[in-house]
Amino acid sequence: MRYKYILFFIILLTACQEKREVSTSFYYWKTVYKQNKVENQHLKQFQSKKVYIRMMDVDLDINQKAVPIAPITFTDSIPKNLEIVPVVFIVNEVLKSQSEAQLTQLAYNILAFVKSKVLQSGQKDYEELQIDCDWTVTTRTKYFELLRNLKEHNKTRILSSTLRLHQLKNQEKSGIPPADKVLLMCYNMGNLRQYGKQNSILDVSELQKYAGTNLGFYPMDIDVALPLFSWSVAFRNKQYAGISKRVSLSDLQNKEIFIIQSNGLYLAKTDLPTFGLIKNDEVRYEESKAEDIKKTAEYLSSYLSEKPINLIYYHLDQNLLKNYEITQLEEIADILR
């Protein structure tokens, strides 16, 4: 009888737990910001309070100096009801060549550049800065030093860092970034360069190798990013030849120029310079299917803490959004609650 009471108490306690608070938003990962009716409608539908906008990449120039690459241009202002979260992508190789003094200067340059871009966007200020970098064991020390410099000179604002699956799993080697929170990137999780049929964008079985209890015990608040994109991966003589976002599924299904093979890859029947392909190149089409995103959300939900999270879809683009019903994206967010 005692055990029945205990079981009843556990069930009651579980039933009384409040749902996890989930705020939904989007990345904006283009070099020109223009207001778009469809994109704005999605932000409105999800009652998004913020939008994560890539400001620039940081890479090395010919003189091995860290410089902004492909910075965003604002032809329109960000809607006044939205908070802007500037995102800066740092190429991992940059960190290898930076001295302590250069890291201090780089932090100062990033903050100055971000501030100017935020003002160009029509916003007066920002509350959070996100740094995106696929740091490794060899660049960990310098990346963390850069984050500390950014935090030191930006104390009143939240500093977040992206977190890739290998960094989540290998916490002892990768370390815990000195930031206020992390954003787990739940995409690009397979071996992109591996020949054959697979989906390197999103694969729940691959996710399970890295996440699990590592999520629940991570010593920092975690936000989640899920993919809304596709691409075509080209192979030449069974060797990786690059990504082509210009080759759509409808192109691949055009029997005049491609042959679908038994391994699921598409074979180019002739040279296709528009796509950067030559005869006999093979193409693997990869996409983020709604049902796979739902499975990912279900898996993550069972391991994430009950703390509020931000769900950020990658990314806000009319051509990508048309592949998903708003109700599908709402259901995914609800799964995480």
Give the torsion through C-alpha atoms of 100, 104, 107, 109, to 10 deg.
-120
pLDDT recorded at residue 6: 46
pLDDT number for residue 19: 82
Q: What is the 3-state secondary structure (H, E, C) of 244-304?
A: ECCCCHHHHCCCCCEEECCCCCEEECCCEHHHCECCCCEEEEEECCHHHHHHHHHHHHCCC
Q: Which two tokens stand for residue 124?
A: 């007066």
Asked if 226 and 269 touch (Cβ cutoff 8 Å), the reply is no
Helix (H) or strand (E) holding 130: strand 128-132
Torsion of CA 276, 278, 282, 287, to 10 degrees: 20
CB 132 within 8 A of CB 87: yes
Residue 95: which of 122, 131, 123, 125 has the closest Cα? 131
The pTM assigned to this predicted structure is 0.92
In order of start, what are the domains of the chain with their CATH numbers? Answer: 21-228+289-335 (3.20.20.80), 230-287 (no CATH)
Q: What is the pLDDT along the chain (337 residues), one digit of tens a residue?
A: 454 344 434 433 443 456 899 999 999 999 999 999 999 999 999 999 999 999 999 999 999 999 999 999 999 999 999 999 999 999 999 999 999 999 999 999 999 999 999 999 999 999 999 999 999 999 999 999 999 999 999 999 999 999 999 999 999 999 999 999 999 999 999 899 999 999 999 999 999 999 999 998 999 999 999 999 999 999 999 999 999 878 999 999 999 999 999 999 999 999 999 999 999 999 999 999 999 999 999 999 999 999 999 999 999 999 999 999 999 999 999 999 9
